[in-house]
Amino acid sequence: MNQVLITGASGLIGSRLTEMLQQGGVPVAHLGRTKTSGHVPSFVWDVSRGKIDEDALRRADVIIHLAGAGVADRRWSAARKKEILDSRLQSTQLLYHALERQKYQAKVLVAASAIGYYGFGMSDHEFSESDSPGKDFLADVTRQWEAAVDEIEKLGIRVVKIRIGIVLSNRGGALAEMAKPVKFCVGAPLGTGRQQVSWIHIDDLCGMFLMAARDEQMRGAYNGVAPNPVSNRMLTRAIALALKKPLWLPPVPPFVLKLLVGEMAEMLINGSNVSAAKILSTGFEFKFPAIEEALKDLLHR
C-alpha cells in the first residue's frame, strides 16, 4: 500500500488503525471535520456543507471510510437520528462526487458498516452476509449507508464493507461502558442476559480492514465479528472475572433500560448472533477468537 486515507480517523477504530498502519511503515493521512494533531497529514471536510479538501484524495490508493455521528453517544431524538443518517450518507456522497470529478488513484474503498444491518431480536437465527436487512432504525440507516457506499464501485473502485460488531477496546467504546459499573461492584446483565453479543477485539477488526485493503479477491460485505459470540450474561461475568470483581446484582429489567437510554434499549435487550464464517473462509486468522483471551489482553494491558 502506498498511502491510506482514513475518514473519521480521530475515533476509536481510526486511531488504532492509524497506529497499526504506522507500525507497519504504511503512510497514512486523515480526512475529518478538524485537523488531527500528530505527525499524520490531515485534511478537512465539511460534510453537511458538501465541502472537501480534494488534496486528501490525490495520493491515496486505499480509502478507509469510518466517518459517522456516534450511534450510542446520545439518546435518539429525531434530530440525532437525522444526524446519524445524514453524516453517513452525505460523507459517502461527498467522497463519491470528489472521486468522480477527478481520476484519483484510489483502487479500493473499505467502508465501515454495522451488524445493526440485520436488526436485533432474532437470537435463534445466525445472521450471514446474504441475509436481508432488518426493519428497525439502525437497520434502515445501515442499508442506506451501504447502498451509498456501493455507488463508488461504479467508478471502478473495489468496495469492501465490514459489518462491524461490538468493538472491544481498552480506550473507550462498549467495553469501557460495561466495565465501569463492574469496577464499582454494581455490574449486572441486561434484560434476560440471554441475548447474544457479537463482539470483536479492536486489533482483529483493524486487521480485517487491512486485509480487505490488500486482498484483491475481497469485495462486498463481510461480518466484522469474532467467531465465538457470547450471551450478555456470559460477557458481564467474563468482565467481572477478568477484573476480579463480584457480580451480585439481578439483571437490569428492560423497562429500566428503556427509561435510561430510550429506543436504543432495543439493541441492548435483543442483541444478535452474527456469523464470522465468510471472513474465516478468506483465511483471516483471529488473534482473539475467544472472549476470555480478548478481555485478558484488553483489561490487563
Ligand X SMILES: NC(=O)c1ccc[n+]([C@@H]2O[C@H](COP(=O)([O-])OP(=O)(O)OC[C@H]3O[C@@H](n4cnc5c(N)ncnc54)[C@H](OP(=O)(O)O)[C@@H]3O)[C@@H](O)[C@H]2O)c1
Residue ranges that bind ligand X, judged by CB under 6 A: 8-14, 32-33, 47, 66-71, 83, 87, 91, 112, 114, 164, 166-167, 173-174
Cβ distance to ligand X smaller for residue 84 or 257: 84
Which residues are within 8 A (CB) of 20 and not within 5 positions of it... i.e. 6 or more apart? 203, 206, 207, 210
Cβ distance to ligand X smaller for residue 173 or 191: 173
Cβ distance to ligand X smaller for residue 146 or 259: 146
Q: How far is the CB of 257 from ligand X (least distance, A)?
A: 18
Q: How far is the CB of 246 from ligand X (least distance, A)?
A: 27
Q: How far is the CB of 261 from ligand X (least distance, A)?
A: 15
What is the separation, in whole angstroms, between the first and last Cα of the chain? 30
Q: How far is the CB of 274 from ligand X (least distance, A)?
A: 11
Q: DSSP readout, 239-259?
A: HHHHTT----SPPBPHHHHHH
- Only one residue has cell 447502498, namely 147
Cβ distance to ligand X smaller for residue 186 or 301: 301
Cβ distance to ligand X smaller for residue 30 or 233: 30
Phi, psi (degrees; rounded to nearest 5) at 283: 100, 5
Helix residue spans in 102-163 (DSSP H): 137-151
Q: How far is the CB of 295 from ligand X (least distance, A)?
A: 15
Residue number closest to ligand X, CB atom? 11
Helix residue spans in 47-118 (DSSP H): 55-58, 78-101
Q: DSSP readout, 165-213?
A: -EEE-SSSBHHHHHHHHHHTT----BTTS-SEE-EEEHHHHHHHHHHHH
